[in-house]
Chains A and B, each alone.
Chain A
Amino acid sequence: MKYAQLIRLLVNRELTLRYKRSVIGIGWSLLNPILTSLVLWYVFSFVFASRLPNGQQFAPYLMAGILLYTFFNQSLMQSAESIANNAGVLTKIFIPPQVFAVSSALAGLINFVIGLLPLALVCFISGQSIAWTLPLVFVIGISLAFLSAGLGLAISIMFIRFDDTRNIVNVLLLILMYLTPVFYPVSIMNPTIQKIIHWNPLTSYLDAFRWAFSNNASPTIFSWIYMAIWSIGALLLGTYVFKKFWPRTVAML
């Protein structure tokens, strides 16, 4: 593919630039989830740990949630913003703008994979072992990258046209986070909210991820099908919205 080299350079740039001026550099990708998890674990372990179903451990449960949600949040925002941020280039040189969104999602995926190392460590410490279904984690990761890139493409148009989209999306993402069982067990919620959580696509990704990594959740067939529908749907929607509106939007840049 003609743009493979450019994507490689972009991913590389995104991974190295984020931490360019810090001493440990990409080590932050390792440290970030550990620190966040540590704080939340300290706060919530008293409340939630005992409420998990038998055999599930709170520390890896929490960390997996943070890792996956951060991956989604960052890839989505970065894909959407990368196009607006590179307006200077996109109005002068012909490059399919999707290249930028895909690179951002890929960078997010790589950060996620790096974060699996500390997660594995936490699993061992809490007495779990890595499940033999581990390769499925990468399938889930790629699906989530598709979801973020697709949605990112769709909202990138809004980012360019309307200044306040960023704030609105941030609020929506915050609500979405609370409706995803990142740090609480689903069973503590009332039935109505449980239903909403059930239909939240991120719940399916998260269940599948926790199960595939260390058998720390029990996804159903529904989770897998629902995940596939969302990933493919988001990609199609993003491409469609983008193709339709980009020619008009680029004129505004």
Chain B
Amino acid sequence: MAIIEVKNLTLTYRVLINKSSSLKELFRDAIKGKARMIDYVALKDISLTVDKSEVVAILGRNGAGKSTLLKVLAGVLPPTKGTSSVTGAIAPMIELGAGFHPEMSGAENVLFYSALMGRNVKEVKGRIDAIGEWAGVSDHMHFPLRTFSSGMVARLAFATATDIQPEVLLVDEVLSVGDADFRLKSKHRLRELISNGAAVVLVTHDMSAVLELATKAVWIEDGLVRMIGNPKEVVASYEAN
């Protein structure tokens, strides 16, 4: 059975036409009869499966629905129609360091981030030093995060997210983290997780990464699947477009 199974997924947002962002405006518009809703379709009838050790790359222009799809897979957005089922632990690497707090120390942030991802805090406690060392920030682990450089934060987040072998990895544009050395190291770790059976969904504009890592590519345009198949062919048509 596939790890990720998306069937006829449709996602609609309901938006107010003149997008009142205050209650006062909404009230005024409602009295004048101007408050109307429209449904904006972000994803239309998408079907997709990802198996163990498979890497599916999602291509598409900005606003095509790539990140929305990742959010559905992460379980954050409920589908309007269709189903999305993901089996096993997810390591969401959608925005590295989401949930990090500048006033807490590196070690505290590692614990907190792990708890957010649903991991066992007690187990992570024993791993903090190893995580800090892998990220190359051992000396800083007990200082508040605001003293970290942005590259250090990203490295620590990457190290934390990939510290445990997950069943599913959702990756959104985070492969270009840190300096050249670290990029090599992180790609190596990603490959390790994949060969150990992680199912990966990768959103990126970096075509060389797609060709290098992906086993399947999906091209999304305006919320519709335009093309799905062999990465080489999909990338070629996408770039020709």
Contact = CB atoms under 8 A, between A and B. Distances in A.
Chain A contact residues (Cβ within 8 angstroms of B): what range?
20 to 34
A6 B111 CA distance: 9
Q: Of residues B14, B115, B121, which shows the largest number of chain A Cβ atoms within 10 Å of its Cβ? A: B115
Nearest to A247: B78
B95 interface: yes
Contact of A17 (B21, B23, B92, B101): B101
A248 B11 CA distance: 11
B26 A162 contact: yes
Interface string B22-49: 1110100000000000000000000000
B88 interface: no
B86 to A, nearest CB: 10
Contact of B98 (A2, A5, A9, A89): A89
Contacts of B95: 88, 92
Nearest to A21: B103
A172 interface: no
A95 B116 CA distance: 7
B94 A163 contact: no
Contacts of B103: 17, 20-21
B101 A94 contact: no
Interface string A21-56: 100000000000000000000000000000000000
A89 B77 CA distance: 13
B116 A163 contact: no
B23 A92 contact: no
B104 A91 contact: no
A6 B99 contact: no
Interface stretch (B68-76, B180-188, B193-201, B221-229): B68-76
Contact of B111 (A2, A9, A88, A161): A9
Contact of A251 (B75, B77, B111, B120): B77
A246 to B, nearest CB: 9
A120 interface: no
Contacts of B26: 162
A13 B104 contact: yes
B21 A163 contact: yes
A92 B121 contact: no
A94 B103 CA distance: 24
Interface string B60-102: 0000000000010011111000000000001010110011010
A251 B111 CA distance: 28
Contacts of B20: 162
B117 interface: yes
Contacts of A6: 115-116
Contact of B23 (A5, A168, A250, A251): A168
A119 to B, nearest CB: 30
Given A9-B111, A164-B24, A168-B23, A92 B77 contact: no
Given A13-B112, A164-B22, A165-B23, A93 B117 contact: yes
Nearest to A20: B103
Given A5-B120, A91-B76, A164-B23, 4 more contacts: A5-B122, A88-B99, A92-B92, A251-B14
A24 B180 CA distance: 44
A163 B104 contact: no
11 contacts: A5-B122, A88-B98, A93-B74, A93-B98, A94-B75, A158-B23, A164-B24, A248-B13, A250-B76, A251-B11, A252-B13
A5 B121 contact: yes
A220 interface: no
A9 B23 contact: no
A250 B80 CA distance: 13
A187 interface: no
Interface in A191-247: 247
B118 interface: yes
